[in-house]
């Protein structure tokens, strides 16, 4: 078996964020240069053209619906104060916002491509207002003054109104419609309700909004809301799983997905006049996890970003005409529509990587695997383990290709959020650790999304440490496995996952061989005091407030229990982090050193909430690997 070094695994490429232009050109983000930049390609397998050339990663790119130009966003050094730009395919670039002190959140193009909408905290750092700006204008027009975390949704079919979304917390949202003619805003949802509303899309007639919500349910479902009265109807239930998002083209083509234990279950349908759906045959999602739908002209195609543990991230284009032909059973002889779809997508001519080159789903991008054969990548096993209160915690468990006598070392990799979910997407660093003989356990402890509202609320405020107890149960589960060496278990996590690492080290000090904390929270009080003003209210809804819960927040902060830590600790952070300020890393490293623990602190001056740039990632994880080689 070939062995590949860490740098090879970290240079496995990702293509994502596809957007289809009016002429069928696909734009996408590709990290070949070390950061995600805008590229375009005109046909599957065609030679791509790089369009942006920055040291900083581009956040998004969105084609104009009418012109060969796109909008894109970019911040500086990971500070998340994104600025907006317009880029023509002739190379002309126009700076649209030029307010580096403010955040800008893209809302979308008008249907004629003459204007775009965005939200920004220019007026007051703690709140977001809504602006509309002409494509050739130097300044946006303030059309709505917000008093909280507002974002702007799509334009109405006649471009005379915008959907506004307000988040009071991760699970408490409101929707309203802003009339751009008279400036009046119609509130569609009860402002006192504790309900999620997401992915609002205008129906073709402009009368209904199609969206996902959990009003009256534990999981998100596909619904439609009257754009004037707020009347809500159910279109499709999610069952035990969340409907994760919806995309709706003006032609009436609708795409939505369910998140089934972390895997994507995709539905493509034609919207009927009465709001019902006529489903089209849908092939399996390449890799198992997908999102980021962008429609082509006339709804005849859409792009889709997909990934999997054994399939690095790429963008495919789905031919809707071919799906409809399959639905109608058009083919040779007595083939059914299902036969045609199966032959075209799952059989027929396929690339060496398993993607179809013909049929309804065709991969358009070619993000390389740095010469590492895809067959060497390891697929995880979906497992569940019992925790302290009898609940079952879902997790992904991956074994290395060879397990030595006495068991393999294990990395318990804990996701951030906490309202997030570890899904089986591609992770080059994880595949490297597997190739080096580590096993991986990735738990979705209580507080994770994907398993219903009740599960997500199980760690709120005073129940925060119950999620840490779920990690203790994970250790019990691991130690009962013959494939695991119980003396070589590592805690690793980022952001909120970094807090979980530090808390787990304090709660179960004699059960860890080492800990790796990336951009993690060490002290909830200093975190809330110093996080971006625009985030504080949202985070207090999850963790507790400085005014009412300070004593409790102090009690659960790892910095105040650091004397319990008995494992070597690696701390990684970005100096420009606006979410979890770098002071969290500096204080935990300093206090841990006072306990005579082996501690390494690595701070990057040009990074924010995570390590995005390839050179920095190589340096960071080379240091982490050396640290684990020494202590594990």
Instruction: Please answer whether residues 18 and 292 qualify as being in contact, where contact means their C-beta atoms are separated by less than 8 angstroms.
Output: yes
489-526, pLDDT tens digit by residue? 999 999 999 999 999 999 999 999 999 999 999 999 99
Q: What pTM was computed for the model? A: 0.92
pLDDT band at 297 (very low <50, low <70, confident <90, very high): confident
Mapped onto helix, strand or coil, the DSSP state of residue 440 is: strand
Span of 325-334, 401-410, 480-489 with lowest mean pLDDT = 325-334
pLDDT at 415 over 80: yes
Report pLDDT for 284: 74
Average pLDDT value for residue range 73-81: 94
Report pLDDT for 155: 97
**Is pLDDT larger for residue 211 or for residue 335?**
211
pLDDT band at 623 (very low <50, low <70, confident <90, very high): very high
Average pLDDT value for residue range 399-404: 94
pLDDT at 383 over 50: yes
C-alpha of 211 from chain center: 18
Percent of the chain at pLDDT exceeding 90: 81
β partners of residue 293: none
Multiple choice CATH, 394-631, 3.40.50.300, 2.102.10.10, 3.40.630.40, 3.40.50.1820? 3.40.50.1820
Span of 348-357, 378-387, 419-428, 452-461 with lowest mean pLDDT = 348-357
Instruction: Please answer whether residues 278 and 270 qualify as being in contact, where contact means their C-beta atoms are separated by less than 8 angstroms.
Output: yes
Task: For 271-294, give the DSSP string.
Answer: EPTTS-EEEE--PPPTTSEEEEEE
239-261, pLDDT tens digit by residue? 899 998 899 999 999 999 999 99
pLDDT at 568 over 90: yes
Report pLDDT for 542: 80
Task: For 41-63, give the DSSP string.
Answer: ESSTTPPPEE----SSPEEEEEE
129-134 and 115-120 as β-strands: parallel, antiparallel, unpaired?
A: antiparallel
392, with CB counted inside 10 A (0-12, 13-18, 19+), is: exposed
Report pLDDT for 350: 38
Average pLDDT value for residue range 434-448: 96
Average pLDDT value for residue range 374-400: 97
d(CA 302, CA 367): 19
The mean predicted confidence, pLDDT, of the chain is 91
Average pLDDT value for residue range 549-576: 94
Average pLDDT value for residue range 439-461: 94
Rg (CA), the chain: 24
Report pLDDT for 189: 94
**Is pLDDT larger for residue 544 or for residue 362?**
362
Report pLDDT for 2: 62
Report pLDDT for 419: 86
pLDDT band at 347 (very low <50, low <70, confident <90, very high): very low
Instruction: Please answer whether residues 40 and 59 qualify as being in contact, where contact means their C-beta atoms are separated by less than 8 angstroms.
Output: no
Task: For 21-35, give the DSSP string.
Answer: -TTSPEEEEE-TTSS
Report pLDDT for 518: 95
pLDDT band at 565 (very low <50, low <70, confident <90, very high): very high
């Amino acid at each position: 078996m070939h062995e590949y070094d860490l740098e090879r695994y970290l240079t496995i490429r990702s293509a994502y964020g596809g957007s289809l232009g009016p002429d069928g050109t696909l734009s996408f983000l590709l990290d070949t240069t070390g950061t995600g930049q805008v590229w375009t390609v005109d046909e599957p397998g065609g030679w791509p053209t790089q369009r942006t050339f920055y040291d900083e990663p581009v956040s998004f790119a969105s084609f104009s619906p009418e012109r060969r130009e796109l909008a894109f966003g970019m911040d500086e050094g990971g500070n998340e104060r994104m600025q907006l730009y317009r880029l023509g395919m002739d190379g002309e670039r126009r700076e649209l916002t030029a307010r580096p002190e403010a955040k800008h959140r893209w809302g979308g193009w008008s249907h004629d491509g003459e204007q775009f909408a965005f939200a920004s905290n220019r007026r007051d750092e703690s709140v977001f207002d809504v602006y509309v700006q002409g494509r050739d204008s130097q300044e946006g027009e303030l059309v709505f003054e917000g008093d909280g975390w507002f974002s702007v949704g799509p334009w109405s079919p006649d471009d005379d109104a915008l959907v506004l979304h307000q988040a009071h917390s991760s699970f408490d949202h409101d929707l309203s419609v802003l009339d751009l003619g008279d400036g009046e805003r119609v509130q569609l949802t009860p402002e006192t309700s504790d309900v999620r509303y997401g992915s609002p899309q205008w129906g073709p007639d402009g009368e209904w909004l199609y969206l996902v919500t959990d009003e009256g349910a534990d999981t998100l479902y596909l619904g439609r809301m009257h754009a004037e009265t707020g009347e809500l109807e159910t279109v499709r239930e999610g069952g035990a799983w969340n409907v994760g998002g919806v995309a709706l083209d003006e032609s009436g083509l609708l795409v939505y997905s369910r998140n089934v234990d972390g895997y994507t279950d995709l539905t493509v349908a034609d919207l009927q006049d009465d709001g019902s759906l006529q489903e089209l045959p849908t092939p399996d999602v390449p890799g198992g996890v997908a999102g980021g739908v962008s429609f082509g002209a006339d709804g005849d195609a859409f792009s889709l970003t997909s990934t999997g543990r054994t399939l690095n991230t790429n963008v495919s284009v789905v031919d809707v005409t071919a799906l409809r032909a399959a639905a109608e059973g058009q083919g040779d002889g007595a083939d059914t529509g299902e036969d045609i779809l199966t032959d075209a997508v799952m059989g027929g001519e396929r690339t060496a990587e398993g993607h179809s080159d013909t049929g309804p789903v065709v991969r358009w991008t070619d993000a390389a695997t740095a010469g590492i054969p895809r067959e060497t990548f390891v697929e995880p096993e979906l497992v569940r383990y019992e925790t302290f209160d009898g609940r079952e915690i879902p997790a992904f468990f991956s074994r290395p290709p060879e397990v030595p006598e006495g068991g393999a070392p294990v990395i318990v990799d804990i996701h951030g959020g906490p309202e997030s979910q570890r899904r089986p997407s591609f992770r080059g660093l994880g595949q490297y650790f597997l190739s080096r003989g580590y096993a991986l356990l990735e738990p979705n402890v209580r507080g994770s999304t994907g398993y219903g509202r009740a599960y997500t609320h199980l760690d709120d405020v005073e129940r925060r440490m119950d999620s840490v107890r779920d990690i203790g149960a994970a250790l019990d589960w691991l130690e009962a496995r013959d494939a695991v060496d119980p003396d070589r278990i590592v805690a690793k996590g980022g952001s909120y996952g970094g807090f979980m690492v530090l808390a787990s080290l304090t709660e179960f000090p004699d059960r860890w061989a080492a800990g790796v904390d990336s951009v993690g929270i060490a002290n909830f009080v200093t975190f809330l005091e110093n996080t971006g003003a625009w985030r504080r209210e949202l985070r207090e809804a999850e963790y507790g407030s400085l005014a009412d819960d300070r004593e409790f927040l102090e009690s659960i902060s790892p910095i105040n229990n650091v004397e319990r830590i008995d494992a070597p600790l690696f701390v990684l952070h970005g100096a420009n982090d606006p979410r979890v300020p770098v002071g969290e890393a500096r204080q935990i490293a300093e206090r841990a050193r006072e306990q005579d623990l082996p501690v390494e602190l690595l701070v990057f001056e040009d990074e924010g909430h995570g390590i995005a740039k390839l050179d920095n990632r190589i340096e960071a994880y080379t240091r982490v690997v050396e640290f684990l080689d020494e202590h594990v």
